[in-house]
């Protein structure tokens, strides 16, 4: 009798755990599902935009001119001369290939969303082919920028970031919960059984599609959290404590005086005296002439990617930063620091020497953005995003087909938790607290779930 009693008790605890995960999976689907759907849909749109961007801005990004390139200093001067106001130059991206234009980028508070603007210069003729806001390491243009910001914040500013963090926080839990539910019961729904009702057919398809994209669900959830406000900050702190920080170059120039300064270093005195204005203008010209030498020093140091970016020092006492920005090939992300006085490389960070974790983080971020390995990455993420959207729609249809009758209630989450044994209660409570503290948006939303559930339990 004792053995039979223990068996019944274990079965009861297992059923309670199954019910608990089932209800949690349901709450995630009902309340967080719409946010996951929006994130998946807008993310898929973003993945498809590189080719759209190239087509829409073709006349700006490319040129028919062929011949020897003008020095970068002259290209920068051409860009400056086309500005209607004095802006701070913060980076230059030389034309990566024959037929491409050079990007000369300035800080501009009037540039919507981005705060930066690029002048596109024909490197042969010095003609200005375009003037557009740009954003991010990829230098995305207005179409992609709008979709990017809609994906991450619904174009609502900082407050909009809570939506994407909510989606990323719960997605991986929904995936693990769905896997558990499939293991406990969904895998038994074979073709013969599933063909009996539309609900079972939808559930079987939901399970199967979830299994196909399970790894992708975990991947985009974790990598997406690295961009989030609260969870992302905690992840950054954890990485720093574990030594998982991506290596970077040292821009300090100890005991060295930098000959050239950014044109805005002395902006507080601009216009106070004629000779002061002339002095600043000369400093600007002198700074611009350094770009060619800095670029050559970086090339000599081994930066051989076609896509490269040069960031001059704006403080007047640090090295210039030069980096490879071709994210389609994971090894071409080296960077160097160049002393603008001597044109010597003072520091270098090579991807080959990155710790394994730093390499995985780099690959993960680029893979999430759809730029790793180019078109292959785009196709895989597009299929994944479309599958996730379809799976969410099927999930809602499953709920609609099995929705409770008016006035009735399904078993609450807390009722299932109350049926767990002591150890299970402690473990689930500790997990919930740990996740809630490390991912605050998840923690707050979980409290919201529990309040609704407590009300439902009280009513039932």
- Helix, strand, or coil (residue 208): helix
Residue 452 has pLDDT above 60, yes or no: yes
Per DSSP (E only), the strands in 282-382 are 308-311, 320-324, 335-338, 345-349
Q: What is the CA radius of gyration of the chain?
A: 28
Region 151-174 average pLDDT: 95
**255 φψ region: left (φ > 0), alpha (ψ -120 to 50), beta (else):** left
Q: Which residues pair with 100 in a beta bridge?
A: 62
Q: What are the structural domain ranges in the chain?
A: 2-48+158-242+384-459, 61-140, 267-353
Q: How far apart are CA 5 and CA 8, in angstroms?
A: 5
Residue 343 has pLDDT above 70, yes or no: yes
CB 218 within 8 A of CB 172: yes
- Helix, strand, or coil (residue 92): strand
Check residue 7 and give its pLDDT. Answer: 56
- Helix, strand, or coil (residue 30): helix
CB neighbours of 120 closer than 8 A, spacing ≥ 6?
60, 61, 101, 102, 103, 128, 129, 130, 131, 132
Residue-wise pLDDT tens digits, 356-386: 988 999 999 999 999 888 899 999 999 999 9
CB 122 within 8 A of CB 67: no
Residue-wise pLDDT tens digits, 240-271: 898 888 899 999 986 443 333 333 333 333 33
Sheet with strand 128-133: strands edge to edge: 128-133, 116-121, 102-107, 88-93, 308-311, 320-324, 335-338, 345-349
**% of the chain beyond a pLDDT of 70:** 86
CB 175 within 8 A of CB 210: yes
Nearest one of 443, 369, 384 to 36, comparing CA atoms: 384
Q: Which CATH class is domain 267-353?
A: alpha beta
pLDDT band at 191 (very low <50, low <70, confident <90, very high): very low
Residue-wise pLDDT tens digits, 80-117: 999 999 999 999 999 999 999 999 999 999 988 899 99
| Helix (H) or strand (E) run with residue 273 in it | none
Nearest one of 35, 27, 26, 167 to 449, comparing CA atoms: 27
| Helix (H) or strand (E) run with residue 269 in it | none
Least confident segment among 15-29, 187-201, 391-405? 187-201
Q: How far apart are CA 136 and CA 158, in angstroms?
A: 17
DSSP conformation class of 264: T
pLDDT band at 9 (very low <50, low <70, confident <90, very high): low
CB 201 within 8 A of CB 194: yes
Nearest one of 42, 31, 146, 32 to 385, comparing CA atoms: 42
CB neighbours of 282 closer than 8 A, spacing ≥ 6?
none
Instruction: Tell me whether residue 338 is exposed, middle or buried, using C-beta atoms within 10 angstroms of its C-beta: 0 to 12, 13 to 18, 19 or more.
Output: buried
Check residue 194 and give its pLDDT. Answer: 44
pLDDT band at 337 (very low <50, low <70, confident <90, very high): very high
Region 16-35 average pLDDT: 93
Q: How far apart are CA 189 and CA 260, in angstroms?
A: 72
> How many Cβ atoms sit within 10 Å of the Cβ of residue 378?
19
Say how far residue 358 (Cα) sits from the centre of its chain: 16
H helices present in 114-160, as ranges? 142-153
Helices and strands in the chain, H and E counts: 18, 8
CB 203 within 8 A of CB 189: yes
- What is the full DSSP assignment across 180-248? HHHHHTGGG--HHHHTS-HHHHHHHHHHHHHHHTHHHHHHHHHHHHTTSSHHHHHHHHHHHHHT-PPP-
């Amino acid at each position: 009798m004792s053995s039979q009693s223990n068996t019944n008790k274990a079965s009861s605890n297992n059923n309670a755990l199954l019910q608990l995960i089932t209800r949690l999976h349901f709450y995630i689907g009902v309340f967080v599902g719409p946010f996951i759907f929006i994130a998946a849909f807008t993310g898929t749109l973003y993945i498809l935009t590189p080719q759209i961007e190239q087509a829409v801005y073709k006349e700006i990004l490319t040129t028919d001119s062929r011949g020897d390139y003008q020095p970068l200093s002259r290209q920068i001067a051409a860009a400056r001369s086309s500005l209607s106001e004095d802006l701070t130059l913060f980076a230059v991206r030389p034309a990566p290939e024959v037929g491409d234009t050079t990007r000369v980028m300035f800080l501009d508070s009037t540039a919507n969303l981005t705060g930066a603007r690029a002048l596109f210069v024909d490197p042969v003729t010095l003609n200005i082919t375009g003037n557009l806001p740009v954003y991010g390491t990829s230098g995305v243009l207005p179409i992609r920028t709008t979709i990017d910001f809609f994906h991450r914040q619904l174009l609502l500013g900082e407050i909009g970031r809570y939506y994407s963090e909510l989606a990323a926080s719960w997605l991986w839990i929904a995936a693990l919960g769905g896997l558990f539910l499939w293991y406990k019961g969904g895998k038994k729904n074979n073709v013969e059984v599933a063909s009996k009702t539309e609900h079972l057919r939808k559930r079987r398809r939901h399970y199967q599609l979830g299994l196909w994209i399970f790894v992708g669900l975990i991947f985009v959830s974790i990598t997406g959290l690295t961009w989030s406000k609260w969870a992302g900050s905690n992840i950054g702190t954890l990485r720093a404590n574990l030594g998982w920080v991506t290596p970077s170059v040292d821009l300090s120039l100890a005991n060295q005086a930098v000959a050239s300064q950014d044109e805005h270093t002395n902006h507080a005195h601009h216009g106070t005296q004629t000779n002061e204005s002339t002095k600043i203008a000369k400093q600007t010209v002198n700074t611009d002439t350094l770009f060619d030498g800095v670029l050559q020093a970086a090339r000599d140091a081994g930066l051989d990617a076609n896509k490269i970016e040069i960031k001059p020092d704006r403080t007047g006492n640090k090295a210039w930063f030069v980096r490879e920005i071709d994210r389609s090939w994971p090894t071409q992300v080296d960077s160097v620091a160049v002393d603008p006085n001597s044109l010597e490389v003072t520091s270098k960070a090579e991807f080959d020497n990155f710790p394994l974790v730093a390499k995985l983080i780099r690959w993960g971020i680029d893979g999430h953005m759809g730029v790793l390995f180019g078109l292959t990455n785009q196709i895989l993420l597009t299929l994944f995003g479309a599958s996730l959207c379809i799976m969410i729609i099927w999930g809602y249809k499953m709920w609609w087909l099995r929705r409770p009758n008016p006035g009735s209630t399904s078993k609450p989450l807390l009722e299932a938790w109350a049926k767990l044994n002591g150890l299970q209660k402690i473990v689930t409570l500790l997990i919930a607290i740990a996740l809630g503290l490390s991912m605050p948006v998840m923690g707050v939303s979980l409290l919201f779930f529990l309040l609704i559930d407590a009300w439902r339990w009280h009513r039932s």
